[in-house]
Amino acid sequence: MRRLLLASSSPYRRELLSRLRLPFDCRAPEIDETPHPDESPEQLVRRLSREKALALAETHPDHLIIGSDQAAVLGDRIIGKPHTLERAREQLLSCSGKRLDFLTGLTLLDTRKGAEQVDCLRFSVHFRDLSEAQIERYLIAEQPFDCAGSFKAEGLGISLFRATEGEDATSLIGLPLIRLVEMLNSAGIEVP
């Protein structure tokens, strides 16, 4: 079986990939994630997912390298990880009653053949109208300060939603497994 390498240090992506029950290694790629001028969020996540995979290609020949990157977009503005309680509070207040789109870039790079598959998936979250008290209780309970959008959909964060829409809920967490399985199958890896 070809060796799989996840180009990420994210524990969330690592947990998601382990669901496929395939052996894989993880390495953190060293890339500059600064957006280019006039680059759309979709162009950004596609480029970064590809650059993450390419950053490890030379040191990992004969691998299938998985790169992924995500942007949370509110209106026309990318919102990142809050890192602090105050910023998380501000993010959730600004999302209250609105739709937040998650764009996830995904790349599968076959270093043996030099072939790559690149895609971008959209998954949207529609927030309930949230009170400041609800937001505060949630943030204290789950402390999602390392999550774009300031919530963990796989946990209590689901209580903040009115609805979700999209083809692959795992893309919300950062690694779209449905599309990844299609890519792996086309690269000769049989899943399951």
Q: Among the options 25, 32, 62, 69, which is catalytic?
A: 69
Identify whether 69 is a catalytic site residue. yes
Nearest to 35 by CA among 86, 103, 125, 115: 103
| Amino acid code (one letter) for 51 | E
What's the rounded Cα separation, in Å, for the pair 53 and 39? 20
The most distant pair of C-alpha atoms in the chain lies apart, rounded to whole Å, by: 54
Distance (Å) of CA 63 to CA 50, 68, 90: 15, 16, 42
Give the three-state DSSP class for 180. Answer: helix
Helices (H), 19-131: 41-57, 85-95
Q: Which residues are catalytic?
A: 69
